[in-house]
Amino acid sequence: DAKTTQPPSMDCAEGRAANLPCNHSTISGNEYVYWYRQIHSQGPQYIIHGLKNNETNEMASLIITEDRKSSTLILPHATLRDTAVYYCIVRVYGGKLIFGQGTELSVKP
Amino acid sequence: DTEVTQTPKHLVMGMTNKKSLKCEQHMGHRAMYWYKQKAKKPPELMFVYSYEKLSINESVPSRFSPECPNSSLLNLHLHALQPEDSALYLCASSQDDNRPGFGSGTRLTVV
């Protein structure tokens, strides 16, 4: 199964961009990368997903390297409400959703 | 994510009780999941149902018994649990490259 690796924690100043990396070096060619976040042990909230092209929506941007071995979630202007645990998830063949260990992002004033 | 709803939100049960967790998804997905999450840890996969059939059991103890009555519903039957089974139980659904949906979870406490 694909494995995802994330740093355990990161800090970001309010109003600055938060860049959260994820390594998924064993990902297969047709497996998507999904980013979710979890606040106060609520259910994971969808942010963005992609396969090989960079993606942008109203919440964030996703940059996937050309070899697809890693990706970066970018929150362009972090706010205090973006403080959460961010998970990089790969959906592998057979349907398993493989979670990374998560990055605890602290946005500070 | 209101597209996946879980009930109850909180459950306290004794070690001799039998209870059930329920999940319903309205995303039209054909795969459904149960995850267990302990504090400050990522969710751990327990079971996967694909097209209403159990496709993955991650060596979960038999005191947890999943059931998929139809493509929208997923239950987790609990019996003779231990205090260490106290956790947040998350339900999820997915299909192909569509974004997975997650419920808000059931906070289970075993006393």
Q: What is the nearest CA distance from B72 to chain A, expressed in angstroms? A: 17
Percent of chain A with pLDDT over 70: 98
- Angstroms from A43 CA to nearest CA on chain B: 4
- pLDDT, tens digit, for every residue of B37-92? 999 999 999 999 999 999 999 999 999 999 999 999 999 999 999 999 999 999 99
Residues with Cβ < 8 Å from B53, sequence gap 6 or more?
B68
DSSP A44: -
Tokens of B35: 């995850």
Quick: pLDDT tens for A26-40.
888 788 999 999 998
Does A97 contact chain B (CB < 8 Å)?
A: yes
Residue A94 pLDDT more than 90?
no
**Going by C-beta distance under 8 Å and a sequence separation of 6 or more, which residues neighbour residue A96?**
A1, B45, B48, B56
AA identity, residue B63: R
**Coil, strand, or helix at residue B27?**
coil
Give contacts of B43 with chain A, Cβ < 8 Å: 44, 99
Q: Which residues of A touch B88 (CB under 8 A)?
A: 41
